[in-house]
Amino acid sequence: MANIRLDDILYSQGFGTRRVCAGLIQQGLVTVAGVPCAEPAIEFETDGLRFTVQGVAWEYHEKVYLMLHKPAGYECSQKPGTYPSVYTLLAAPIRQRGGGAAAGVQAVGRLDQDTTGLLLLSDDGKFIHRMSSPKRHVPKIYEVTTRHPVDDRQIQRLLAGVVLDDDPKPVRAAACEKADELQLRLTLTEGKYHQVKRMIAAVGNRVEGLHRSRIGSLVLPPDLKPGQWRWLTTDDLASVQG
Protein backbone atom coordinates (compact mmCIF):
# COMPACT_ATOMS: atom_id res chain seq x y z
CA MET A 1 0.00 0.00 0.00
CA ALA A 2 1.14 3.57 -0.66
CA ASN A 3 1.80 6.07 2.08
CA ILE A 4 -1.15 8.35 2.88
CA ARG A 5 -1.39 11.68 4.70
CA LEU A 6 -2.53 11.35 8.30
CA ASP A 7 -5.48 13.70 7.87
CA ASP A 8 -6.64 11.65 4.87
CA ILE A 9 -6.29 8.47 6.94
CA LEU A 10 -8.52 9.88 9.69
CA TYR A 11 -10.99 11.14 7.12
CA SER A 12 -11.19 7.73 5.43
CA GLN A 13 -11.85 6.07 8.80
CA GLY A 14 -14.81 8.30 9.64
CA PHE A 15 -13.32 10.73 12.16
CA GLY A 16 -14.95 13.76 10.54
CA THR A 17 -14.39 16.13 7.65
CA ARG A 18 -10.85 16.75 6.48
CA ARG A 19 -10.90 20.05 8.35
CA VAL A 20 -11.99 18.33 11.57
CA CYS A 21 -9.37 15.61 11.12
CA ALA A 22 -6.64 18.19 10.54
CA GLY A 23 -7.77 19.99 13.69
CA LEU A 24 -7.59 16.83 15.78
CA ILE A 25 -4.02 16.30 14.62
CA GLN A 26 -2.94 19.91 15.18
CA GLN A 27 -4.36 19.80 18.71
CA GLY A 28 -2.14 16.82 19.52
CA LEU A 29 -5.10 14.46 19.91
CA VAL A 30 -3.73 11.84 17.50
CA THR A 31 -0.84 9.51 18.27
CA VAL A 32 0.85 6.87 16.13
CA ALA A 33 3.00 4.25 17.89
CA GLY A 34 2.56 6.28 21.06
CA VAL A 35 4.01 9.43 19.51
CA PRO A 36 1.80 12.55 19.20
CA CYS A 37 1.52 13.79 15.62
CA ALA A 38 0.95 17.52 15.08
CA GLU A 39 1.37 17.69 11.29
CA PRO A 40 -1.65 16.68 9.17
CA ALA A 41 0.50 16.15 6.06
CA ILE A 42 2.78 13.53 7.62
CA GLU A 43 2.43 10.24 5.73
CA PHE A 44 2.11 6.67 6.97
CA GLU A 45 1.95 3.23 5.43
CA THR A 46 -1.60 2.08 6.12
CA ASP A 47 -1.06 -1.68 6.14
CA GLY A 48 -1.38 -2.73 9.80
CA LEU A 49 -1.42 0.91 10.96
CA ARG A 50 -2.66 1.46 14.50
CA PHE A 51 -3.25 4.85 16.05
CA THR A 52 -5.25 6.60 18.74
CA VAL A 53 -7.66 9.51 18.41
CA GLN A 54 -8.52 11.30 21.64
CA GLY A 55 -7.25 8.28 23.54
CA VAL A 56 -9.33 5.75 21.59
CA ALA A 57 -7.26 3.01 19.91
CA TRP A 58 -8.03 2.35 16.25
CA GLU A 59 -6.72 0.15 13.45
CA TYR A 60 -6.82 1.21 9.81
CA HIS A 61 -9.28 -0.73 7.65
CA GLU A 62 -9.57 0.09 3.98
CA LYS A 63 -13.06 -1.44 3.93
CA VAL A 64 -15.49 -2.30 6.71
CA TYR A 65 -16.49 -5.93 7.20
CA LEU A 66 -18.29 -6.49 10.50
CA MET A 67 -20.41 -9.06 12.25
CA LEU A 68 -23.00 -7.85 14.72
CA HIS A 69 -25.07 -9.87 17.15
CA LYS A 70 -28.35 -8.08 16.52
CA PRO A 71 -30.56 -7.85 19.60
CA ALA A 72 -34.34 -7.71 19.48
CA GLY A 73 -35.93 -4.27 19.32
CA TYR A 74 -33.66 -2.75 16.65
CA GLU A 75 -34.38 -1.92 13.03
CA CYS A 76 -31.90 -2.56 10.21
CA SER A 77 -32.48 0.91 8.80
CA GLN A 78 -30.57 4.20 8.71
CA LYS A 79 -33.91 5.94 9.23
CA PRO A 80 -35.88 3.72 11.63
CA GLY A 81 -39.55 4.18 12.32
CA THR A 82 -40.51 2.91 15.77
CA TYR A 83 -37.38 1.24 17.12
CA PRO A 84 -33.75 2.38 17.34
CA SER A 85 -31.38 1.64 14.46
CA VAL A 86 -28.79 -1.15 14.63
CA TYR A 87 -26.29 1.44 13.38
CA THR A 88 -26.42 3.16 16.77
CA LEU A 89 -24.70 0.06 18.18
CA LEU A 90 -21.58 0.73 16.09
CA ALA A 91 -18.66 3.00 16.97
CA ALA A 92 -19.18 6.57 15.77
CA PRO A 93 -16.33 6.52 13.19
CA ILE A 94 -17.83 3.44 11.54
CA ARG A 95 -21.24 5.12 11.31
CA GLN A 96 -19.65 8.25 9.84
CA ARG A 97 -17.53 6.60 7.14
CA GLY A 98 -18.45 7.90 3.72
CA GLY A 99 -20.03 10.92 5.39
CA GLY A 100 -22.75 8.69 6.82
CA ALA A 101 -24.35 8.66 3.36
CA ALA A 102 -25.77 5.76 1.36
CA ALA A 103 -22.23 4.91 0.28
CA GLY A 104 -21.29 4.26 3.91
CA VAL A 105 -21.69 1.17 6.04
CA GLN A 106 -24.81 -0.86 5.24
CA ALA A 107 -26.41 -4.01 6.58
CA VAL A 108 -25.98 -6.98 4.24
CA GLY A 109 -29.65 -7.89 4.09
CA ARG A 110 -32.02 -7.12 6.95
CA LEU A 111 -33.43 -8.80 9.99
CA ASP A 112 -36.84 -7.84 11.39
CA GLN A 113 -36.83 -5.76 14.57
CA ASP A 114 -37.83 -8.78 16.67
CA THR A 115 -35.33 -11.13 15.00
CA THR A 116 -31.96 -11.66 16.65
CA GLY A 117 -28.64 -13.07 15.52
CA LEU A 118 -25.87 -12.75 12.98
CA LEU A 119 -25.90 -9.60 10.86
CA LEU A 120 -23.12 -8.55 8.51
CA LEU A 121 -22.32 -4.91 7.74
CA SER A 122 -19.97 -3.45 5.16
CA ASP A 123 -19.19 -0.42 3.01
CA ASP A 124 -17.92 -2.64 0.17
CA GLY A 125 -20.65 -2.45 -2.47
CA LYS A 126 -19.36 -5.46 -4.39
CA PHE A 127 -19.31 -7.57 -1.22
CA ILE A 128 -22.85 -6.50 -0.30
CA HIS A 129 -24.12 -7.33 -3.80
CA ARG A 130 -22.29 -10.66 -3.87
CA MET A 131 -23.66 -11.71 -0.49
CA SER A 132 -27.20 -10.51 -1.27
CA SER A 133 -27.50 -11.87 -4.81
CA PRO A 134 -30.05 -14.72 -5.10
CA LYS A 135 -27.75 -16.27 -7.72
CA ARG A 136 -25.12 -16.95 -5.06
CA HIS A 137 -27.44 -19.10 -2.90
CA VAL A 138 -25.54 -18.24 0.28
CA PRO A 139 -27.08 -20.49 2.97
CA LYS A 140 -28.43 -18.83 6.10
CA ILE A 141 -29.47 -20.87 9.12
CA TYR A 142 -32.33 -19.75 11.38
CA GLU A 143 -33.33 -21.12 14.76
CA VAL A 144 -37.13 -20.89 14.80
CA THR A 145 -39.38 -21.08 17.85
CA THR A 146 -42.95 -21.93 16.86
CA ARG A 147 -46.26 -21.40 18.64
CA HIS A 148 -47.54 -24.91 17.92
CA PRO A 149 -45.70 -28.24 17.94
CA VAL A 150 -43.87 -29.00 14.70
CA ASP A 151 -44.87 -32.16 12.86
CA ASP A 152 -43.31 -34.12 10.01
CA ARG A 153 -45.94 -32.91 7.56
CA GLN A 154 -44.92 -29.28 8.13
CA ILE A 155 -41.24 -30.12 7.67
CA GLN A 156 -41.93 -31.97 4.42
CA ARG A 157 -43.97 -29.06 3.08
CA LEU A 158 -41.19 -26.60 3.90
CA LEU A 159 -38.70 -28.82 2.06
CA ALA A 160 -41.03 -29.37 -0.91
CA GLY A 161 -41.90 -25.69 -1.23
CA VAL A 162 -44.69 -23.36 -0.20
CA VAL A 163 -46.31 -20.59 -2.23
CA LEU A 164 -46.19 -17.10 -0.72
CA ASP A 165 -48.88 -14.59 -1.60
CA ASP A 166 -46.66 -12.35 -3.75
CA ASP A 167 -44.87 -15.04 -5.76
CA PRO A 168 -46.45 -17.98 -7.57
CA LYS A 169 -43.10 -19.81 -7.59
CA PRO A 170 -42.76 -22.12 -4.58
CA VAL A 171 -40.15 -21.17 -1.98
CA ARG A 172 -38.23 -24.11 -0.56
CA ALA A 173 -36.09 -24.60 2.50
CA ALA A 174 -32.64 -25.93 1.62
CA ALA A 175 -32.73 -27.90 4.88
CA CYS A 176 -35.14 -28.22 7.77
CA GLU A 177 -34.87 -30.24 10.95
CA LYS A 178 -36.80 -30.44 14.16
CA ALA A 179 -34.66 -29.45 17.13
CA ASP A 180 -37.42 -29.76 19.74
CA GLU A 181 -41.19 -29.89 19.89
CA LEU A 182 -41.40 -26.12 19.31
CA GLN A 183 -38.00 -25.63 17.64
CA LEU A 184 -36.94 -25.77 14.00
CA ARG A 185 -33.57 -25.28 12.37
CA LEU A 186 -34.27 -23.83 8.93
CA THR A 187 -31.74 -23.22 6.14
CA LEU A 188 -32.61 -20.78 3.36
CA THR A 189 -30.60 -19.78 0.29
CA GLU A 190 -32.70 -16.80 -0.78
CA GLY A 191 -34.18 -13.84 1.02
CA LYS A 192 -37.66 -12.41 0.78
CA TYR A 193 -39.63 -10.01 2.96
CA HIS A 194 -40.55 -11.75 6.27
CA GLN A 195 -39.71 -15.01 4.50
CA VAL A 196 -39.32 -17.32 7.49
CA LYS A 197 -42.47 -16.05 9.19
CA ARG A 198 -44.50 -16.35 6.00
CA MET A 199 -43.19 -19.84 5.22
CA ILE A 200 -44.04 -21.07 8.71
CA ALA A 201 -47.49 -19.46 8.46
CA ALA A 202 -48.02 -21.19 5.09
CA VAL A 203 -47.72 -24.61 6.74
CA GLY A 204 -50.17 -23.73 9.50
CA ASN A 205 -47.88 -22.61 12.30
CA ARG A 206 -46.60 -19.32 13.69
CA VAL A 207 -43.16 -17.94 14.52
CA GLU A 208 -42.76 -16.91 18.16
CA GLY A 209 -38.99 -16.38 18.08
CA LEU A 210 -36.42 -16.11 15.30
CA HIS A 211 -32.62 -16.14 15.52
CA ARG A 212 -30.08 -16.29 12.68
CA SER A 213 -27.13 -18.38 13.79
CA ARG A 214 -25.10 -18.78 10.62
CA ILE A 215 -24.34 -17.26 7.20
CA GLY A 216 -22.35 -19.46 4.83
CA SER A 217 -19.84 -21.22 7.07
CA LEU A 218 -19.67 -18.26 9.46
CA VAL A 219 -21.24 -19.07 12.81
CA LEU A 220 -22.26 -16.41 15.32
CA PRO A 221 -19.60 -16.72 18.05
CA PRO A 222 -21.01 -17.70 21.46
CA ASP A 223 -18.94 -15.00 23.16
CA LEU A 224 -20.38 -12.21 20.99
CA LYS A 225 -23.23 -10.92 23.13
CA PRO A 226 -26.39 -9.18 21.84
CA GLY A 227 -25.50 -5.65 20.75
CA GLN A 228 -21.78 -6.42 20.37
CA TRP A 229 -19.87 -6.35 17.08
CA ARG A 230 -16.42 -7.22 15.80
CA TRP A 231 -14.35 -6.95 12.65
CA LEU A 232 -14.35 -9.98 10.35
CA THR A 233 -11.01 -11.71 10.00
CA THR A 234 -9.62 -12.94 6.68
CA ASP A 235 -10.78 -16.44 7.62
CA ASP A 236 -14.26 -15.11 8.49
CA LEU A 237 -14.55 -13.47 5.07
CA ALA A 238 -13.48 -16.68 3.35
CA SER A 239 -16.02 -18.75 5.29
CA VAL A 240 -18.95 -16.41 4.76
CA GLN A 241 -18.32 -16.24 1.01
CA GLY A 242 -17.96 -19.99 0.65
Active-site residue numbers?
112
User: 87: closest CA among 98, 99, 74?
Assistant: 74
CB 96 within 8 A of CB 15: yes
CA 173 – CA 157 distance, rounded (Å): 9
Listed in sequence order, the DSSP H helices in the chain are 6-12, 18-26, 92-96, 125-132, 152-160, 195-202, 234-240
> Which residues touch 32 (CB under 8 Å, ≥6 apart)?
6, 44, 49, 50, 51
CB 228 within 8 A of CB 221: no
